[in-house]
């Protein structure tokens, strides 16, 4: 079974490696899932939402504000969430959506043209594949999947269903100031870039108090919530938002914020996968809280010609350059720092003979301020793709690259050593443990899709 999985990965990477690199180096548009004119400019487009408590509903609200786009159905395993979001959609749009507790029934609805998947990460691969197989276009929240193997499977599935459009919820790809920052990085003005720093310091993320296991809340289909994840007793700490701090369902801050931030490091540098990764950290801030993933982590990714550093911390805000999150491209002439608030260039200087004033090594640009919502721009781009007027700003190849690198950081942390990536083989070199961690294990009766 493992040999078959590795052989599939090798064949896949040989076929797609050049195209994936082209996406990272060139435009943010998708190469594999090119837009097709599925809908005319006046056609109504109907969608369903699977997992509608958090970002799934934020996406639905943004999409519903676009002319001709209608939320026709919502699905959630929690009756209270389902009732609340059904009322919210009706108040917001005047339309009462159909409600489902089983996503498979929603996918059978022929009136829906696309689905928004806003579930915990451990569901992304299976639901994404089944949505494509049902003939739906897909707007998928990040990260792409919860393991390297699932990332590859979903990418393969998207290629197999190439007439379907898949947009990742990595909405920074639609942010004008992020694009402008990358344009400046790639202009060469910073000089040779030797290091890229990426980080997320999240002061609002406080300790997760230990709570005893209990019965699921009334109206919650907990077995369906678990799906392919291991069968464990219900615990409120693992449910809804806090699922992201438990390995069964997600990868902590590395795959939560990291996918957004690392994506732009890769985009700016025209990079895909690193040659090696090492990581260290732990539960240092809140050693006795209920979460499993590290609240403090540093990782070093080795690429050809530069290194990328990732660090995250919960409970504190003072990250590098006094920013809670961001990307810093460190060049010989200066450093460009970008976050969700904007970007700036910090120039290097050098002494001038006969003068007490040093000379700047580069001209400092004045970035334009951009107003409006990048999430709204992102959903508008997706709908434009459906109407045949655009290509995805964050196609699945973009999601695949960012999620793969983030998962590699977690794998290096779990092994406790430096791991080396063999891009040709599509696996870690001489490291059976790392390769086992990179694969997914599904709980019966759920089965890992075959692509």
The pLDDT score that the predictor gives to residue 22 is 39
Strands 419-422 vs 276-282: parallel, antiparallel or unpaired: antiparallel
Range name among 38-42, 261-265, 385-389 with the lowest pLDDT average: 38-42
pLDDT in tens, 36-54: 557 888 899 999 999 999 9
pLDDT in tens, 157-178: 999 999 999 999 999 999 999 9
pLDDT in tens, 313-349: 999 999 999 999 999 999 999 999 999 999 999 999 9
The CA-atom distances, in angstroms, between 224 and each of 54, 103, 139, 387 are 18, 10, 21, 34
pLDDT level of residue 21 (50, 70, 90 thresholds): very low
Instruction: Compute the average pLDDT of residues 189-193.
Output: 98
Domain boundaries, the chain: 2-174+376-393, 176-368+404-437
Q: How far apart are CA 151 and CA 154, in angstroms?
A: 5
Whether the predicted pLDDT of 267 surpasses 70 = yes
Cβ density class 217-239: b for 16+ within 10 Å, e for less? eeebebeebbbbbeeeebbbbbb
The pLDDT score that the predictor gives to residue 353 is 83
pLDDT level of residue 356 (50, 70, 90 thresholds): confident
User: By the 8 A CB rule, do 124 and 157 touch?
Assistant: no
In degrees, rounded to 5, the angle at the alpha carbon of residue 202 between the alpha carbons of residues 400 and 412 is 45
pLDDT level of residue 180 (50, 70, 90 thresholds): very high
pLDDT level of residue 26 (50, 70, 90 thresholds): very low
Assign domain 176-368+404-437 to its CATH architecture.
Answer: 2-Layer Sandwich (3.30)
The CA-atom distances, in angstroms, between 325 and each of 17, 177, 351 are 30, 15, 32
Which tokens go with 172?
Answer: 């920074």
pLDDT level of residue 215 (50, 70, 90 thresholds): very high
Whether the predicted pLDDT of 364 surpasses 90 = yes
CATH no. of 2-174+376-393: 3.40.50.720
pLDDT in tens, 224-251: 999 999 999 999 999 999 999 999 999 9
- In whole numbers, what is the pLDDT of the chain averaged over residues? 92
Q: Output the pTM of the full model.
A: 0.92
pLDDT in tens, 74-123: 999 999 999 999 999 999 999 999 999 999 999 999 999 999 999 999 99
The pLDDT score that the predictor gives to residue 29 is 42
Whether the predicted pLDDT of 14 surpasses 60 = no
More confident residue, 164 or 13: 164
Q: How far apart are CA 51 and CA 228, in angstroms?
A: 16
């Amino acid at each position: 079974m493992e040999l078959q999985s590795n052989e599939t990965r090798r064949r896949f990477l040989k076929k797609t490696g050049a195209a994936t690199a082209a996406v990272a180096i060139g435009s943010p548009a998708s190469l594999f899932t090119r837009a097709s004119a599925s809908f005319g400019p006046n056609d109504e487009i109907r969608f369903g939402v699977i997992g509608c408590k958090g970002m799934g509903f934020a996406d639905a609200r943004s999409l519903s504000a676009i002319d001709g786009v209608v939320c026709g159905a919502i699905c959630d395993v929690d009756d209270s969430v389902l009732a609340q979001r059904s009322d919210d959609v009706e108040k917001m749009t005047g339309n009462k959506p159909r409600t489902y507790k089983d996503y498979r029934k929603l996918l059978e609805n022929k009136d829906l043209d696309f689905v928004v998947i806003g579930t915990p990460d451990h569901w992304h691969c299976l639901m994404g594949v089944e949505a494509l197989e049902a003939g739906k276009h897909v707007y998928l929240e990040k990260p792409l999947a919860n393991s390297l193997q699932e990332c590859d499977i979903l990418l393969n599935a998207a290629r197999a269903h190439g007439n379907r459009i898949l947009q990742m919820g990595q909405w920074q790809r639609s942010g004008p100031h992020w694009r402008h920052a990358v344009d400046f990085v790639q202009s060469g003005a910073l000089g040779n870039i030797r290091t890229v720093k990426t980080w997320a310091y999240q002061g609002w993320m406080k300790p997760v108090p230990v709570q005893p296991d209990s019965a699921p809340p009334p109206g919650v289909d907990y077995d369906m919530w678990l799906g392919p994840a291991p069968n464990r007793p219900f615990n409120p700490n693992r449910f809804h938002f806090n699922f992201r701090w438990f390995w069964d369902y997600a990868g902590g801050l590395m795959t939560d914020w990291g996918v957004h931030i690392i994506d732009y490091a890769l985009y700016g540098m025209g990079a895909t996968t690193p040659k090696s990764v090492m990581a260290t950290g732990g539960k240092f801030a809140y050693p006795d809280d209920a979460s499993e993933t590290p609240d403090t982590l540093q990782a070093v990714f080795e690429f050809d010609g530069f290194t990328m550093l990732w660090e995250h911390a919960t409970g504190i805000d003072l990250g590098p350059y006094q920013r809670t999150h961001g990307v810093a491209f460190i060049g010989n002439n200066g450093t460009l720092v970008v976050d969700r608030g904007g970007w700036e260039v910090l120039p290097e200087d050098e002494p001038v003979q006969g003068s007490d004033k040093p000379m700047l090594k580069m001209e400092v640009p004045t970035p334009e301020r951009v107003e409006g919502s990048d999430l709204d721009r992102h959903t508008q781009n997706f709908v434009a793709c459906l109407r045949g007027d655009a290509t995805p700003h964050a196609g699945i190849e973009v999601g695949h690259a960012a999620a793969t690198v983030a998962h590699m950081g977690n794998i290096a942390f779990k092994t406790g050593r430096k791991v080396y990536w063999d891009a040709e083989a599509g696996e870690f070199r001489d490291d059976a443990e790392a390769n086992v961690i990179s694969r997914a294990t599904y709980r019966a009766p759920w089965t890992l899709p075959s692509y």
